[in-house]
Amino acid sequence: MSDLNRREFVASAAALAAAAKVGQDSPPIRVGVIGCGGRGSGALENCLASSENVEIYALADMFKDRADGARAHLAGLKKGDMPHPGNKVTDERVFTGFDAYKRVLDTGVDMVILATPPGFRPIHFEAAIEAGKHVFTEKPVAVDPVGVRRFIAAGKKAAEKKLAVVAGTQRRHEGSYLATVKHIHDGAIGKITSGRAYWNGSGVWVHPRRPNWTDMEYQLRNWYYFTWLCGDHIVEQHIHNLDVMNWVLKAVPLRAVATGGRQSRTEAQYGHIWDHFTVDFTYPDDVHVLSMCRHWPGPGNVSEAVVGTRGRSNCANQITGEVNWTYREKHRNPYEQEHTDLISSIRRNEPLNEAEAVAHSTLTAIMGREAAYSGQEITWDQMMKSDLSLLPEDLSMDAALPEPPVAVPGKYKFK
Ligand SMILES: NC(=O)c1ccc[n+]([C@@H]2O[C@H](COP(=O)([O-])OP(=O)(O)OC[C@H]3O[C@@H](n4cnc5c(N)ncnc54)[C@H](O)[C@@H]3O)[C@@H](O)[C@H]2O)c1
């Protein structure tokens, strides 16, 4: 074991031991879950596993079947051989519909997990901070510039109120990424001259329309395929890789030019999102980052890399060049670690606040989308001033909600 690796081993073993102890003697933290689908159910499990004395106290989802699903998942969790004692959800604390998030905030929870589609995130985050709750927010945190600014403003309020905000950009809580990025920041590859970020995958679920579904229910159940809910896959998924670029470069991109389209997934059931994007982001000092994401059948590649004047790194666990180093230690599941970090920061009264970082990474991805949809070069300043808001005025289950057309560069205008 090299000295560098030995030091990291001792530090990570100490961190694991400390994490196990945090909360043993602390009062319970009551948690409400807003958005009880796949991630909401996963996050409540991660949260329970992350720290002692955590209680899942209330649930909110748009639909009863999804809330019931998360409740059944919670009931199946165990601590040792026994049902998990952190399951404190009762019939009276399960809420459904557009206002369910408000009901959860009224139950006396200390913290909420926000895991709905991202179109609702700015509204839910603002309400949670207004109500004085700590927040774990899934990424992305908005789908348009107006939502990003609303989120940033609420994040500043959270800091004033000493509320903790941790985001589901979990690479920032993953031991191997943390060690690698630290070495890069300490100069292991010299000055960074370029980077690349990929989320090349094969797509997600689709739920065929049922005759009794209104437009709203159809779009909510298939939120991935509607930009007002999802942001398109460049925002929903590729944000993870773009977040790594912003983190490693300690900057946001100044401008973007992009291309893309909808080529392999053209059927109506896939709504109006695209299936591939390629973006050239220019960061300060003329550092270019090539970003690529797609939902196509075939082999995938989800990764990041940067090149510097003295070496290169995959940002995740390896550095080559003048320094040759590989991360070899065990680290905790980052989906649990992010909750440990959040809850221990609450208990120490030193609240973490990741609101601005995740909002900037969200806006980076939206900038790539808008540059591709419009065919225009778009600057960060334009994004920060843009009035683009995708939120429908009528948020009710029988709202008329025609499907927007697929964006066509030249016709689609960024404003
Ligand atoms: N960090 C990660 O690696 C990761 C992984 C998966 C998903 N996510 C994020 O988690 C979020 C949820 O994704 P998912 O995969 O769980 O989707 P999902 O469809 O499984 O769950 C979303 C749930 O939110 C509910 N919902 C929709 N609108 C709502 C509203 N206004 N109020 C209350 N509930 C509402 C839906 O009914 C559904 O049950 C997304 O932002 C996604 O990007 C993050």
pLDDT digits (tens, 9 = 90+) for 226-254: 999 999 999 999 999 999 999 999 999 99
Q: Using CB atoms within 10 A of its CB, is residue 402 exposed (0-12), middle (13-18) or buried (19+)?
A: exposed
Contacts with 223 (C-beta within 8 Å, 6 or more apart), sequence order: 117, 119, 229, 230
Percentage of the chain beyond pLDDT 70 is 94
Residues 156-176 have pLDDT tens digits of 999 999 999 999 999 999 999
C-alpha 253 to ligand 1 mean position (Å): 27
- Does the structure show a pLDDT above 80 at 123? yes
In angstroms, what is the span from residue 33 Cα to ligand 1's centroid? Answer: 11
For residue 153, the SS3 value is helix
Q: pLDDT tens-digit profile of 400-415?
A: 999 999 999 999 999 8
Angle between helices 121-130 and 145-160 (to 10 degrees): 20
Residue 67 pLDDT grade (very low, low, confident, very high; cuts 50, 70, 90): very high
Number of residues in the chain? 415
| pLDDT tens-place string over residues 357-387 | 999 999 999 999 999 999 999 999 999 999 9
Q: Are 398 and 216 in contact (CB under 8 A)?
A: yes
Rounded Cα–Cα distance for residues 412 and 53 (Å): 51
| Longest distance between any two alpha carbons in the chain, whole Å | 64
* Mean pLDDT of the region 265-277: 96
Cα–Cα distance measured from residue 381 to residue 340, given in angstroms and rounded to the nearest whole number: 36
Q: Which atom of ligand 1 is nearest to the CA of 224?
A: 19
In 23-89, which ranges are continuous DSSP H helix?
38-50, 64-75
Q: Which of 36, 39, 137 most suits a substitution to test ligand 1, by most atoms within 8 Å of the C-beta?
A: 39
- b/e per residue 130-144 (b: at least 16 CB within 10 A): eeebbbbbbbbbbbb
- Evaluate if residue 8 carries a pLDDT over 70: no
Quote the pTM value.
0.95
Residue nearest to atom 37 of ligand 1 (CA): 62
At residue 331, the pLDDT reads: 86
**216 close to ligand 1 (CB < 6 Angstrom):** no
According to the model, what pLDDT value does residue 9 have? 45
Q: Is the pLDDT of residue 1 over 50?
A: no
Distance CA 11, CA 348 (A): 20
Band (pLDDT 50/70/90 cuts) for residue 14 is very low
Q: Closest Cα partner for 109 from 126, 87, 134, 84?
A: 134
pLDDT over 50 (residue 7): no
- Which pLDDT value is given to residue 13? 47
CB atoms within 10 A of CB 370: 26
What pLDDT, on a 0 to 100 scale, did the predictor assign at position 50? 97
Q: Which of 95, 103, 105, 138 to mutate to test the pocket of ligand 1 (most atoms within 8 A of CB)?
A: 138
Give yes or no for residue 343 having a pLDDT over 50.
yes
For residue 40, how far is its CA from the centre of ligand 1 (angstroms)? Answer: 7
Residue 217 Cα to ligand 1 midpoint, Å, equals 15
Amino acid at 300: G
Helices (H), 89-238: 100-105, 121-130, 145-160, 175-185, 215-221, 227-230, 233-236
Which residue's CA lies nearest to atom 27 of ligand 1?
A: 116
Average pLDDT, the chain: 95
Distance CA 140, CA 147 (A): 11
Query: 14: part of which helix (H) or strand (E)?
Result: helix 3-21
Supply the pLDDT for residue 4. 45
Q: Per-residue confidence at 213, pLDDT binned at 50, 70, 90?
A: very high
